[in-house]
Chains A and B, each alone.
Chain A
Amino acid sequence: MSYERGLALCLVLEIALFSIIGWNFFTPGNAGEIVRASAEIGLLALALTPVIVTGGIDLSVGSLLGLCAVVLGVAWRDAGWPLPAAAAAAIVAGVAGGGLNALLVARLGIPPLIVTLGTYSLFRGLAEGVTAGVKNYSDFPASFLFLGQGGVGAVPSQLLVLVAAAVGFWLMVHRMAAGRTLRAIGFSPDGARYAGVSVNRRLGAVYLLSGMCAGVAALLYVARLGQAKADAGTGFELMAITAVILGGTSIFGGRGSVGGTLLGLATLGVLQNGLRLADLPAELAGVVTAALLLAALGANRVFQGRDGT
Chain B
Amino acid sequence: MSVAATHRRELSVGAAYGALLVALALFAPAFYQRANLRDVLVGAAPVLVAAVGMTLVILARQIDISIGSQFAICAVVAGTLAKAGLAMPIAAAGALATGAALGALNGVLVAGFGLPAIVVTLATMVGLRETLRWVTEGVWVRDLPPGFQWMGLGQDAGRFAIPGLALLVWALVAWGMRHLAGGRAVYATGSNAEVARLTGVRPRRVVFGVFVAMGALTGLAALLSAIQFIDVQTNSGVGFELRVIAAVVVGGTSIAGGRGSLVGSLLGVLLLATAGPALTFLGSQAYWDRALQGLIILVAVAADAFGSATRLKARP
Measuring CB to CB, which residues of chain A are less than 8 angstroms from any residue of chain B? 55-57, 104, 108-115, 117-126, 128-129, 132-133, 189, 238, 241-242, 245, 251-253, 281, 283-287, 289-291, 293-294, 297-298, 307-309
Contacts and interface: CB of A to CB of B under 8 A. Distances in A.
Contacts of A109: 305, 311-313
Is the contact region of chain B dominated by helix, strand, or loop, or is it mixed?
Answer: helix
B316 A113 contact: yes
Given A57-B316, A111-B314, A293-B123, A283 B115 contact: no
Contacts of A122: 290-291, 294-295, 297-298
Which residue, of A108, A189, A283, A291, has the highest number of chain B Cβ atoms within 10 A? A283
Given A132-B287, A289-B127, A283 B133 contact: yes
Nearest to B113: A298
Contacts, number: 157
Contacts of A128: 287-288, 290-291
Nearest to B118: A251
B39 interface: no
A65 to B, nearest CB: 15
A59 to B, nearest CB: 8
A294 B120 contact: yes
12 contacts: A55-B316, A108-B311, A111-B312, A125-B290, A241-B122, A242-B126, A251-B116, A286-B129, A286-B131, A290-B123, A308-B115, A309-B114
Contacts of A113: 63, 118, 255, 314, 316
Contacts of A132: 285, 287
A118 B301 contact: yes
A114 B115 contact: no
Given A108-B311, A121-B294, A124-B291, 15 more contacts: A104-B301, A113-B63, A113-B316, A117-B245, A117-B297, A118-B294, A121-B242, A122-B298, A125-B293, A132-B287, A251-B316, A286-B126, A298-B115, A308-B114, A308-B116
Interface residues of B, number: 50
A117 B313 CA distance: 16
Contact of A290 (B116, B126, B312): B126
Given A55-B315, A115-B298, A241-B122, A121 B291 contact: yes
B311 to A, nearest CB: 4
B307 to A, nearest CB: 11
A110 B256 CA distance: 11
Contacts of B133: 283, 286
B298 A111 contact: no
B143 to A, nearest CB: 25
Given A287-B131, A290-B124, A129 B291 contact: yes
B263 interface: no
Contacts of B249: 114, 117
Given A122-B298, A125-B289, A286-B129, A253 B315 contact: yes
Contact of A119 (B128, B134, B298, B304): B298
A284 B294 contact: no
B141 interface: no
Q: List the 10 closest A-B pairs by CB distance, nearest first.
A: A286-B130, A125-B291, A290-B127, A122-B294, A125-B290, A121-B294, A118-B297, A283-B134, A108-B305, A293-B123
B106 to A, nearest CB: 11
A108 B302 contact: yes
B109 interface: yes
Contact of A110 (B131, B290, B305): B305
Contacts of B116: 251-252, 297, 308-309
Nearest to A309: B114
A63 to B, nearest CB: 9
B77 to A, nearest CB: 18
B202 to A, nearest CB: 15
Nearest to B297: A118
B87 to A, nearest CB: 32
Contacts of A117: 242, 245-246, 249, 297
Contacts of B292: 125
Contacts of A56: 316
Which residue, of A55, A114, A251, has the highest number of chain B Cβ atoms within 10 A? A114
A111 B256 contact: yes
Contact of A238 (B126, B285, B314): B126
Contacts of A308: 114-116
Given A119-B294, A121-B294, A286-B129, A104 B124 contact: no
Given A104-B302, A108-B306, A109-B305, A124 B290 contact: yes
B315 A252 contact: yes
B19 interface: no
A281 B136 CA distance: 12
A50 to B, nearest CB: 15
Contacts of B314: 111, 113
B119 A251 contact: yes
Contacts of B285: 129, 132
